[in-house]
Structure 1
Amino acid sequence: MKICLINSSYEGVNSPFEKYDDLPDPGRYISKEHHEFTTRYVTKANAKAEIDEICKEGYDMYMNYMWGIESDDVAGVEATRYLESKGAPILTNPSSFLVKNIVDLKEVADRVGLRVPGNTPGRFPKIVKYSDGYGSLNLDKKSICYTDDEVSTQIALMRKKDDKFGILVQDYIVGRECTAIVLEMGREVVALTPLRYTFPLNTPKHEEFFTWENKFEAEIQHTIQKEFVEKGPHKANLQTAAVEAFKALGVTGGGGWARVDMRLEETTDDVYVIDVNCIPVVFYPPGNDLDDDLVVDEKFPGGHPAFFDMLLATKQIQLGWHEAGNSHITTFYDRFANGYDQAWEKAPVSEIQKSVVRKYDFSGTVLDVACGTGAIGRILHQQGVQAETVGIDLSPGMLENVELRKCYKEVRVGSMEELIMGADECDHITCFQALHFLNTIFLNAVLARMFMLARKSVTLEGEDVSDICIQGMKQKHPGLTFNADHVSAVEKFGVPKGWNRVLNERKFMFRSQTVGCDVYGYIMRFERVNTELYGEEVSAMDLPTS
C-alpha cells in the first residue's frame, strides 16, 4: 500500500520536543515491496492548503502523527479535523482522541470505576502538573508538594511560566511507574506486555516518577531501568486498567493505539491510571532507547512489520473492506459443506493431519481456526487426546456438521481475521487450508495474534499455491476472493522470540477440482520455548546498567 505519514512540522516553532523527536517512520522496519511510505509535514498556519496538496497525491492510507492541541503552536486537532473532512482513510489518532486530556480521563473514570488519582483533602504528598501538554512537560522535583502552601506556590509558579494550560492537583501515588501499549485489534482492544520502571538505588519514593529530565535524558543514559511484567496478577491488572482507560475515553473504532501510563501503588498493589497518550513512540530509529519500540521488538510476534499490519488490518475491518470477499467465500463453502467430508477423506491432507496429531502434543485447550466441518476436532477425539476444542469458521453451513458438534466445546461463526482477535488464550492453535484466503496484511495480523494467544504451540498449513492455480481462481472468481502463495510471507514473518519451529515440511495436499491443478503446502509447527517459565512475573531487559 501507498501510505502517507503526516507529521506536525516544527518549522518556525520553538518546541522542546524537537531535540528528541527523530520523527516516526515505519519504512525503517518495513520493506518497500510490502508498503511504500512517504512523509509529509503540516504547519498549523497553512494546514488546510498543505493537506489539500497531500490529498491530491493519491495515497491508499494516511497515518496521522499530528499531535498539537488548540493551544499548541504545531498542527494537530484542527488540522486533523480538516483531514477527516476530506473523507480520507486515516490510520490512528482521530481528532476526537487528540482533544482528550487528564481531566477527560478523570470524568470518564468515575463512571466506569477506573482508578485515577484524586485530590483528597488533607492527603499528601500532592503532584501539581499541567492538565494539557505532553512528555511530562515542566514536571520536576518541585512538582511534589507536602503542604497546602507548597501547592499554592507551585501553582503560582506554573501559571507565571505558562498560563495557556490548565493546572491539575492530584494525590501523588507512592509506588512503581508502569506503562502499557494498547492496540485495537479488529473490533477488540488488547494491551501488550507492560513495562515497569526501576529508579536508581536510594532514590526517594517521592522522586520515583517521570519528570521531563527522567523521561528523556535519564532513560537515554540508562539510569532508569525497565523490566517486562510478564505474568501474574500485576500483568493482568495493568493490562486491564490500560484497556479500560482506552475504552472509557470513547476512541475505539478509529483511535488505533495508545500508551497508557500507570502507577502501581506500593501498599495496596492497586493500579492507578495517570494518562492515556494517543501517540506511542513507535517506528523511531532502530536501536533507540525509547520504550515503545522496545516492547514491539521484544514482545509483538512478527515485530514492527506485523505490528503495523495489525493497525492496517484493524482499519480495513472497521471500514468493511474485507466483507465482499468473505461473503463470497462463505457462499462457496456453504454450498460445498455437504460433500466436504467425503472430499477431505480422499485427500492426502487428511492423513497429514492425523499424522501431526499422533506425533505432537495437543492436550489441553485447542483453538481450531477455520475449522470447517471439524476435521481436527474429530481426529483429536478419535486418537483419544484429552483436548477441549473451540472452532471458528466463516461458513455456517460447514459448522452444521453433526460430528463436529460432538467434538467441539464451542463453535463460533465469523471470519478468522475478526474472531481470532477476541479469542481467549489457549494451549494450542491450529489452522489448515485457510491462510491463502488472507491478503498479506491480514495474514501478518492473524499470525501475530495466534502467537500472542497460544501458550504451547501453533500448527499451521500454508499452501504453496502455484501461479497457474492463482490465475485459475481469479478467472473463476474475479475480484471476489483473495488467493495467494503465502510461503514466503510466513518466512518473512519469521519465528517469534520465545518460539522454535519444530516442523516445516512440504507435502502434496489435494487436487483442486475448481481449477484442475495439484496443491502443495507446508506443514509448520511452532512450540513455545520453556513453557514452564510462561508464568514468570518479571523479566529484566537486556539493557546496559547504570
Structure 2
Amino acid sequence: MRICVFQSCFEELQASVGEAQELCMNPGVFTTQHAVTHKTVHKNTAKEQIDEAVKEGYDFYLNFMWGTHDDSLAGVDAIRYLESLNLPFAGVQSSERAQSKWDFFAQAKAAGSPLIPGTEIFPLFVKPASSYGSMFIDEHSLCRNKQGLEQCILRLNKLMRPVRLQRAQALGHTDPEQYADSREEEGQDSTDIVVQEFIAGEEYSVVVIAMGETPFPLIPQRAKYKQVGDSARILTLELKFDAESGYELLHEDEDPALWKHLQDTAIEAFTTKKMYTNYMGCDVDMRIGQDGRAYVIEVDPLPVFFYPTGSQLEDTDVKHGFPGSYRAVVNTYITNYFLENSALGEARSGELAALFDQMPLKARLVQEIMDISTIAPYNGTAIDLGCGTGSGGLSLKSNPRNQITHLVGVDISKTSLDAHTSETGYNQLVQNRMERFLAKQTVMVDHIFCVSALEFLSVEELDFVLARCFQLARCSVTLILKSSGSLERFQSYIIDHSQNIRTFQVQQGWSLETPRMSGLCSEDHHTCFFFRRDMKIFGDSSS
C-alpha cells in the first residue's frame, strides 16, 4: 500500500520538548511492505496540505496530528476536516482531541472503572486539563494544604492566560479576554484545571493495541527520571525530556501480580474510553497508591510513536511485547479499519465462499487431505482456522497421541461446514472470516492450526491473524501453505505468504521448528511452519 502519515509540526510547540528529529514518528522505517510518505502539517495551512496529499492518491492514511484547542499544533480542526473526507485512515480523532482529562474521569466514574484519583484529600496535585508533555507542572503543582492550593491556582492562572485566549479564539468566542477572565474567576473549579489527590507511588504506562474491538495490553513500563530531591515523584516538563528520563520494561517475574494488575487496569481504561474507535488503541498512564492499586491519571490516544531504535523514547514494549513488532502494528491498524468499514472485503470473502461452496465435496476432500497429526503431540484445546470439511479434526483423532479436549472450526464456506459429521471431532463450528473471528476471540487455547487458508489473506490481514494467533495460543501455532498449483481455480485470490511468515518477528520464547510430516496428499508441494512456545519462559501467565 501507499500510506500517507500526517503529523503535527513539532517546531510549533509552545515549549521545547526535545530534538525534533527524535520526535518524528516514522513507521516507514519499520516496514518494507508499504511505501510510507510523511506530511508535516501546520495548523494554519492544514486544509490545503491535506487536500494536496489526497490528490496524490494514497491507499491509506495514518493520523498522528494531536493538537488541542489550547496550542498552536495542527490537531482538532485539521482532523475534523480529514474525517469529513471519508478517507480510509486510522489515528487520533477530533472528538478525542476536543475533550479534556475531565471527560475521561467523568466516563470512568459513570462506568465504575478504571480507578481514578479522588478530589478531596490533601495533598492535591494541580495541572491543566488539556496539555502535553507535563506542561506547567513543577514543584508547586503538589499542594499540601488550602493555602498552597490557592497559590498554585493563582500561579497557574497567569501561566495559562495565553492558552485560554487561544482556546477562546479557536472555539469562536467573541470576547476571548472575557472567556479567560471567567476561567480565572472559577479558580480550582474551572473545567480546564485538574485538581486531584496526589498518588505518591511509582508511575507506570501500559500500551493497549486494538485488535478489532478487543484490547491487547503490552508489557507494562515503569517511568524512570532524574531524581531531584522531594520532587522526585513529580514528572515535570524538564524532567520528562531529560537525558536520564524515560521508561523501562517491567519484567513479569519482578512482580507477577502487579504486572497483571497494570494490564487489567489499562484494559479497563481502553474499554471505558472506547479506544478501539481510532483503530489503534491507547497508552494508559497510572500510579500505584498506598493501597497497592493502580490509579489511572491519563489516557493517551497515540499508543505507538515509531521513534528511532535506540532513542530515548523508543517503543521497546512494541519490540518485545507485540507479535510481529512494528510491521504487524501498522498492518493491524489497517486491518482494524477495513474490518469495520470495507464492503469490498466482505464482497471478496463472499466470492471466495461461493467458489468453495460450488466445489464438489469430493474435490474439497482431496484438496484438504493433509496429515497434521504427526507434526507434534497436540493436547488440550484448539482452533482450526479454515477448517473446511474437517480433515484436520479427522487427522488429529486418528493419532492416539493427540488428546484434543475441545476443537473449534472456523470457515467461510457453509457447505464445507455442513459436510462435518460427528466423526470430524469438532465441538463448535463457526462460519466467519478468520480475521473477524480472531478479532472477537478472547479465550486462549493450547493450539491454533491453519492449513491452506492463509493464502487468501492480504498482507495486512496476514499480520493481524498471525499476531492474534501468537496472542491466543498457549503452546503452538501450526501454519501450512499449499502450492498455488493445487488451488488453480483460486489463482486471482492467492498471495504467496511464505516469506511474510518467515520474516514475522515472534516474541522471545517462541521458536520455529521444522516438523516431520507424513501422509501428505500426493505430489503436493507445501510449506509448513510449526511454532512452539517455551512454557518455562512464559510461566503461568498464559493461562
Q: TM-score per shorter chain, which class?
A: 0.7 to 0.9
- 1:540 maps to none
2:482 alignment partner in structure 1: 463
| One of 481, 493, 500 as aligned partner of 1:489 | 500
CA-to-partner distance for each residue in 1:119-164, whole Å, 9 max, x for gaps?
443x222111111111222223332221121112112111111233
CA shift, 1:241, in A, is 2.5
Matched residue of 2:215: which SS?
strand
Task: State which of 173, 193, 196 in structure 1 corresponds to 2:199.
Answer: 173
Deviations along 1:222-248, one digit per CA (max 9) or x if unpaired, are 686442447844344323322332332
**Structure 1: which amino acid aligns with 2:513?**
V
Aligned ranges 1:493-508 → 2 under 5 Å: 493-503=504-514
Residue 325 of structure 1: aligned partner = 348
- Secondary structure of residue in 1 paired with 2:373: helix
Aligned position for 2:214: 188
Report the Cα distance in structure 1 between the residues aligned to 2:71 and 2:225, rounded to whole angstroms: 31
Aligned to 2:464, the other structure's residue is in SS state helix
2:377 to 316, 341, 361: 361
Q: Which residue of 1 aligns with 2:418?
A: 400
Cα offset for 1:113?
A: 0.8
* Structure 1 position 240 matched with structure 2 position 259: no
Consecutive unaligned residues of structure 1, counting only runs of 5 or more, are 512-517, 538-546
- Deviation digits for residues 312-366 of structure 1, max 9, x if unmatched? 111121222421111112222334474367425xx7x43x32322xxx1211221
What's the C-alpha RMSD, in Å, of the aligned pairs?
2.9
CA 252–182 in structure 1, closer or farther in 2 if over 3 Å, else same: same
Q: How far apart are 1:415 and its partner, in Å?
A: 0.7
Q: Compute the displacement of 1:190 (Å).
A: 2.3
Q: Is 1:310 matched with 2:332?
A: yes
Residues 259-294 of structure 1: per-residue CA shift (max 9 Å, x gap): 111123332x32221111112342111212325x11
- Structure having the higher helix fraction is 2
Name the SS of the counterpart of 1:397 in structure 2: helix
- Report the equivalent of 1:542: none
1:367 and 1:391 in contact (8 A); partners too: yes
For residue 454 of structure 1, what is the aligned residue in structure 2?
473
| Counterpart code for 1:372 | G
Decide whether aligned partners of structure 1 residues 437 and 119 sit closer, same or farther in structure 2, where only a CA change above 3 A counts: same
Corresponding position: 1:524 with 2:523: no
Contact 1:389 1:408 survives alignment (8 Å): yes
Change in Cα spacing, 1:405 to 1:108, as seen in structure 2 (3 Å) is: farther
User: Equivalents in 1 of 2:58, 2:153: separation in Å?
Assistant: 46
Q: Does the 8 A contact of 1:106 with 1:116 survive in 2? A: no
Aligned pair in 2 of structure 1 residues 18, 201: CA closer, same or farther (>3 Å)?
closer
1:535 has 2:535 as partner = no
SS in 1 for 2:134: coil
Q: Tell me what 2:396 maps to.
A: 380
Q: Which amino acid aligns with 1:6?
A: F
Q: What does residue 391 of structure 1 align with?
A: 409
CA contact (8 A) 2:390 2:424 kept: no
Provide the C-alpha distance between the structure 1 equivalents of 2:228 and 2:4, rounded to a whole number of angstroms.
47
Which residue does 1:258 correspond to in 2? 282
2:4 aligns to what SS in structure 1? strand
AA aligned to 1:425 is M
How much does 1:10 deviate? 3.9
| CA-CA distance at 1:298 after TM superposition | 0.9
Shift of the 497–259 alpha-carbon distance from structure 1 to 2, 3 Å rule, reads: same
Note if 1:9 corresponds to 2:41.
no
Cα distance, 1:253 vs structure 2: 3.1
Q: Is the counterpart of residue 273 in structure 1 residue 273 in structure 2?
A: no
Whole-Å separation in 2 of the counterparts to 1:497 and 1:143: 42
Give the aligned residue type for 1:51: I
* 1:461–1:524 CA contact under 8 A, matched in 2: yes
CA offsets, 1:459-507, max 9 Å, x none? 11023436xx788634xxx6xxx20211111112144432111226799
1:514 matched residue in structure 2: none
Q: Is the 8 A contact 1:369 1:393 kept in 2?
A: yes
Decide which moves more: 249-258 or 98-107. 249-258
- Residues 251 and 451 of structure 1: CA distance in aligned 2, closer, same or farther (over 3 Å): closer
**Bigger mean CA deviation after superposition, 64-73 or 88-97:** 88-97
User: Partner residue of 1:213?
Assistant: 238
Does the 8 Å CA contact 1:94/1:255 hold for their aligned counterparts?
Answer: no
Any idea what SS the aligned residue of 1:46 has?
A: helix
Measure the CA separation in 1 of the matches of 2:148 and 2:4: 48
- The total of aligned residue pairs comes to 508
Q: Tell me, in whole angstroms, the C-alpha distance in 2 between the residues paired with 1:47 and 1:210.
A: 32
TM-score by length of 1: 0.85
Q: What's the % identity of the aligned pairs?
A: 29
1:299 aligns with 2:321: yes
Aligned to 2:139: 141
CA pair 50-401 structure 1, distance change in 2 beyond 3 A: same
- TM superposition shift of 1:202: 11
Question: CA deviation digits over 1:58-115, x for unaligned, max 9?
Answer: 1111111111111211110101111122222222112122223211111111121113
Q: Distance in 2 between matches of 1:364 and 1:536?
A: 16
Could you tell me whether the CA contact under 8 Å between 1:11 and 1:43 is conserved in 2? no
Give the secondary-structure state (helix, strand or coil) at the position aligned to 1:252: helix
Match of 2:178 in 1: none
Q: Which amino acid aligns with 2:8?
A: S
For 1:470 and 1:354, the matched residues in 2 are separated by 23
> Which digits, 9 at most, give the CA deviation of each residue in 1:180-212, with x for residues without a partner?
1122212423222222346789986x7435332
Letter in 1 for 2:490: M
Counterpart CA distance in 1 for 2:74 and 2:157 is: 24
Which residue is 1:101 aligned to?
100
Q: 1:183 to 1:224 in 2, by over 3 A?
A: closer
Question: Does 391-400 or 75-84 show the bigger shift?
Answer: 391-400
* Preserved contact between residue 93 and residue 254 of structure 1 (Cα < 8 Å): yes
2:23 aligned partner, one-letter code = D
Shift in Å, 1:50: 1.9
**1:506-517 equivalence runs, <5 A:** 510=521
Counterpart amino acid of residue 530 in structure 2: R
- Give the SS at the match of 2:357: helix
Segment drifting more, 280-289 vs 68-77: 280-289
SS at 2:69 equivalent: coil
Corresponding residue number in structure 1 for 2:65? 66
Q: Secondary structure at the match of 2:74?
A: coil
> Comparing 166-175 with 13-22, which one deviates more in the overlay?
13-22
In 2, Cα distance between the equivalents of 1:53 and 1:316? 24
Q: Are the counterparts in 2 of residues 510 and 520 from structure 1 also a CA contact under 8 Å?
A: no
Shift of 1:422: 2.5
Alpha-carbon shift at residue 405 of structure 1 (Å): 7.8
2:288 and 2:540 mapped to 1: Cα distance?
A: 18
Q: 1:115 to 1:186 in 2, by over 3 A?
A: closer
Partner amino acid, structure 1, of 2:467: A
* Secondary structure at the counterpart of residue 297 of structure 2: strand
Aligned partners of 1:179 and 1:259 also within 8 Å: yes
Letter in 1 for 2:201: G
What code does the residue aligned with 1:370 have? G
> For the residues of structure 2 that align with 1:9 and 1:398, how far apart are their CA atoms?
53
